[in-house]
């Protein structure tokens, strides 16, 4: 895990914003208000944002939980295991699903296996003792590859390895490490730890204001579990993303805040940074918000053709549709295995993820600065653009990449062997 020092206590969220902006600017990545306004005022954005941001969070779960704590535990483990985006292509080939859908199906498999009367794989003890074979079976990936025999021509032998094995090892390490920490500290499951952190956050909010709750919850989870320490040192600069913890906190809000009497204290979320994986930086590059043209060639050449006038003319237009008139439906989503995007080093990936976090902060500020008259000139009822929030912008950017067939074909970068996204 990373040797990067943790941020000062009480400044974890601030460290995400400041470190990401510092790394983005030091890397020569440009984000202009003009390019942001071009996206915010485009038909692609204004015609889809409200629909997608409200419904496409990916946390609708076909399960009946026996208790709120069981549901919190499931959402917590799902967030911890929300990895594998660097294995998107192999997952499509072997499971027919992308990374997020594969991990969600895996977590559902853990739940259903546990509910069937066997070992509780969602308990701390069950997490700590899970085998590679169990993980591979529930995930549905191959963990063996065939290689030519060293001395017998024409004979192939199977051995453990390949991208499926890499992903299984990542999941195994996350489960084993987190489960052991929970067992050693007397917790029955991860949900119990998170519930305790939420209670501590509520106490902090009463003393220091609503935003203090999220700070306490995030810091406690990052300090306790290495699997949540999404941070690195890049070009002598510390950078903090904490994607999976932020995803968990958003998930808690989505699953529980709408209840008339939430079973757990729900921290204020609207100020939290986005959850930066590989999808959001890639889509922001394709949509012309993140500009790599002035960067070192190792970054500037990653997405040839992205952000050009010709490309943006199509991508910022309304979604391609079929049929006739205003009742046209979006084209069906393609089941074709996606093309592999550029494979990045850890440092390159952190730079682009940091750029996405900073870009979204700037996008919200730019939206706030738009004139009402300017929005009305584009059409009635667009004043809502001035009120977009970081959580909803996060959902839109992540989900719109799947919503349109032309967006689904856009390349996304991949980083292998990372336990953080």
Using alpha carbons, select from 392, 79, 95, 415 the residue that is nearest to residue 279. 415
> Angle at which helices 346-369 and 390-403 pack, to 10 degrees?
110
- The confidence score (pLDDT) of residue 158 equals 74
Residue ranges per structural domain of the chain: 12-408
**In b/e form, how buried is each residue of 165-178, taking b as 16+ CB within 10 angstroms?**
bbbbbbbbebbebb
pLDDT value for 325: 38
For residue range 148-175, what is the model confidence (pLDDT) as tens digits?
Answer: 777 788 777 678 899 999 999 999 999 9
- What pLDDT is stored for residue 2 in this prediction? 54
Query: Which two structure tokens, joined as six digits, stand for 295?
Result: 């960067």
Residue 242: strand, helix, or coil = coil
Distance CA(214)–CA(150), nearest Å, equals 56
Backbone angles phi, psi at 156, to 5 degrees: -110, 140
Q: Which pLDDT belongs to residue 323? A: 42
pLDDT of residue 322: 46
Angle (CA) 284 247 120, round 5°: 140
242-274: pLDDT as tens digits? 999 999 999 999 999 989 999 999 999 999 999
Give, as one character, the DSSP assignment of residue 383: G
Provide the token pair at 237.
Answer: 């600069």
Q: Which of 68, 176, 72 is nearest to 126 (CA)?
A: 176
- Alpha carbon distance 414, 341 (integer Å): 6
Residues of the chain with pLDDT under 50: 1, 322-334
CA separation for the pair 90, 162 (Å, rounded): 10
**CB contact at 8 A, 28 and 297:** no
DSSP state of 320: P
Q: Is the pTM of this model over 0.85?
A: yes
Matching residue, tokens 């969600």: 104
DSSP 86: G
On the CB side of 226, CA atoms within 13 Å amount to 16
The beta-carbon contacts of 306-314 under 8 Å, at least 24 apart in sequence, are: 311/286, 312/38, 312/287, 312/288, 314/406
Give the pLDDT of residue 189. Answer: 98
Query: CA 367 to CA 373: how far, in whole Å?
Result: 13
Q: Counting Cβ atoms within 10 Å, is residue 419 exposed (0-12), middle (13-18) or buried (19+)?
A: buried
The DSSP code sequence of 385-405 is GGG--HHHHHHHHHHHHHHSH
Q: What is the structure's pLDDT at 144?
A: 84
Record the tokens describing residue 67, joined without a space.
Answer: 């208790």
């Amino acid at each position: 895990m990373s040797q990067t020092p943790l941020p000062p206590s009480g400044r974890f969220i601030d460290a995400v914003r400041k470190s990401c902006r510092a790394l983005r600017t030091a890397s020569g990545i440009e984000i202009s208000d003009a390019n942001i306004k071009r996206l915010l005022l485009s038909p692609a954005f204004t015609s889809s944002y409200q629909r997608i941001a409200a419904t496409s969070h990916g946390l609708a779960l076909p399960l009946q939980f026996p208790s709120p704590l069981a549901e919190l535990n499931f959402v917590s483990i799902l967030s911890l295991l929300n990895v594998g985006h660097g294995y998107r292509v192999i997952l499509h080939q072997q499971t027919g699903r992308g990374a997020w859908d594969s991990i969600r199906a895996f977590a559902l498999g853990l739940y259903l296996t546990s509910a069937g009367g066997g070992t509780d794989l969602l308990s701390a003890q069950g997490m700590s003792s899970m085998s590679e074979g169990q993980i591979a079976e529930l995930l549905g990936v191959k963990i063996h590859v065939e290689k030519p025999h060293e001395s017998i021509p024409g004979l192939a032998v199977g051995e453990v390895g390949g991208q499926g094995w890499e992903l299984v090892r990542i999941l195994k390490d996350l489960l084993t490490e987190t489960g052991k920490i929970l067992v050693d500290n007397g917790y029955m499951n991860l949900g119990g730890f998170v519930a305790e952190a939420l209670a501590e956050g509520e106490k902090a909010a009463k003393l220091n204001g609503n935003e203090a709750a999220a700070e306490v919850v995030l810091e406690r989870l990052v300090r306790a579990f290495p699997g949540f320490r999404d941070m690195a040192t890049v070009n002598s600069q510390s950078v903090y993303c904490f994607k999976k913890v932020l995803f968990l906190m958003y998930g808690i809000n989505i699953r529980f805040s709408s209840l008339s009497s939430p079973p757990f204290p729900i921290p204020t979320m609207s100020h939290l940074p986005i959850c930066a994986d590989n999808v959001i930086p890639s889509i922001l590059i394709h949509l012309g918000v993140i500009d790599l043209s002035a960067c070192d060639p190792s970054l500037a050449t990653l997405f040839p053709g992205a952000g050009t006038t010709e490309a943006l003319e199509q991508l910022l237009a309304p979604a391609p549709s079929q049929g006739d008139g205003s009742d046209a439906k979006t084209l069906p989503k393609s089941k074709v295995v996606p093309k592999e995007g550029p494979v990045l080093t850890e440092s390159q990936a952190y730079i682009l993820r940091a750029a996405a976090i900073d870009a979204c902060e700037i996008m919200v500020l730019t939206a706030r600065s738009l004139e009402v008259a300017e929005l009305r000139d584009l059409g009635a009822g667009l004043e809502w653009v001035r009120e977009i929030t970081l959580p909803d912008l996060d959902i839109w950017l992540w989900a719109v990449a799947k919503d349109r067939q032309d967006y689904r074909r856009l390349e996304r970068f991949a980083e292998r062997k990372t336990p953080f996204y």
